[in-house]
Amino acid sequence: QSVLTQPPSVSAAPGQKVTISCSGSSSNIGNNYVSWYRQLPGTAPKLLIYDNNKRPSGIPDRFSGSRSGTSATLGITGLQTGDEADYYCGAWDSSLSALGFGGGTKLTVL
Amino acid sequence: EVQLVESGGGSVQPGGSLRLSCAASGFTFSNYGMNWVRQAPGKGLEWVSYIDSSSSTLYYTDSVKGRFTISRDNAKNSLYLQMNSLRAEDTAVYYCARSPRAATGTSFDYWGQGALVTVSS
């Protein structure tokens, strides 16, 4: 059972926008920073967003992150077929003294 | 170019031991905290352990406490995970991952390709 809760799947058409939610509690998202990762099949995860809404160098501004209360959201605009992947959120949990991930969301670009 | 290369994975019987290594290059290893993250076949990501740059702060997920030990050798630019009393549920691909200095929160900016650990009789 994951510390953070994500929808198992989302879908949208090419060119459209999609959002992926990540729900937690005051011990994780509510008081710690959120990061987001994309994992293509058979490859290692890649950092998309850190500290709630910052993009690492090389990540296009099609990707955005936000946090409100004990929830966080990843937004992807201008969807491409290459965006089909599993997406994970993560946040430190102060009660567990451990990093928690969401269960992952599979994005399908129809 | 930042590179993280894991080694030491393989098959082991329940109760056995393995030691994973992660060779780092392309950055000043001694300046960064490092992590192990695992992924069971067909499952999601699970953070396993963290070690800070000087080995003074260590964290573990509850399921591996007392069985796994994270360590590093900054002179050899290497990260290790000693895994003892292995169980079937430890079967996973194990990734080493770097904690970025630019981040305030916990995140992982570079990942290795992963090492498969299979625990089975």
Q: What is the full DSSP assignment across B68-117?
A: EEEEEEGGGTEEEEEE-S--GGG-EEEEEEEPPTT-SS----EE---EEE
Q: Is the confidence at residue B104, as pLDDT, over 90?
A: no
CB crowding A11-29: b at 16 or more within 10 Å, else e: ebeeeeebebbbbbbebbb
pLDDT at A1: 80
Is A40 near chain B, with CB under 8 Å?
A: no
Point out the residue among B45, B95, B100 whose CB comes nearest to the CB of A88. B45
Confidence of residue B53 (pLDDT cuts 50, 70, 90): very high
Q: What is the mean pLDDT of residues B50-68?
A: 96
> What are the backbone dihedrals phi and psi of residue B64, each rounded to the nearest 5 degrees, phi first?
-115, -5
pLDDT tens, B74-95? 999 999 999 999 999 999 999 9
Q: Measured between alpha carbons, how far is A109 from B11 in angstroms, rounded to an integer?
A: 37
Q: Closest residue of B to A6, CA-based?
A: B44
Q: What is the mean pLDDT of residues A76-91?
A: 97
Q: What does the DSSP 8-state code read for residue A15?
A: T
Subunit contact B113:A44, Cβ cutoff 8 A: yes
Q: Is the confidence at residue B7, as pLDDT, over 90?
A: yes
Percent of chain B at pLDDT > 70 equals: 100
Subunit contact B106:A33, Cβ cutoff 8 A: yes
Subunit contact A50:B105, Cβ cutoff 8 A: yes
pLDDT tens, A5-62? 999 999 999 999 999 999 999 999 999 999 999 999 999 999 999 999 999 999 999 9
CB crowding B59-94: b at 16 or more within 10 Å, else e: bbbeebeeebbbebebeebbbbbebeebeeebbbbb
**Those residues with Cβ within 8 angstroms of residue A35's Cβ, 6 or more apart along the chain or in another chain:** A47, A49, A50, A51, A89, A90, A91, B103, B105, B106, B107, B108
Subunit contact A34:B105, Cβ cutoff 8 A: yes
Q: What is the CB-side half-sphere exposure of residue B11 using CA atoms within 13 A?
A: 2
Subunit contact B103:A51, Cβ cutoff 8 A: yes
Point out the residue among B59, B103, B107 whose CB comes nearest to the CB of A98. B59
Contact A5, A28 (CB under 8 A): no
Is B108 near chain A, with CB under 8 Å?
A: yes
Is B35 near chain A, with CB under 8 Å?
A: yes
Q: Measured between alpha carbons, how far is B21 from B24 in angstroms, rounded to an integer?
A: 10
Q: Measured between alpha carbons, how far is A44 from B95 in angstroms, rounded to an integer?
A: 8
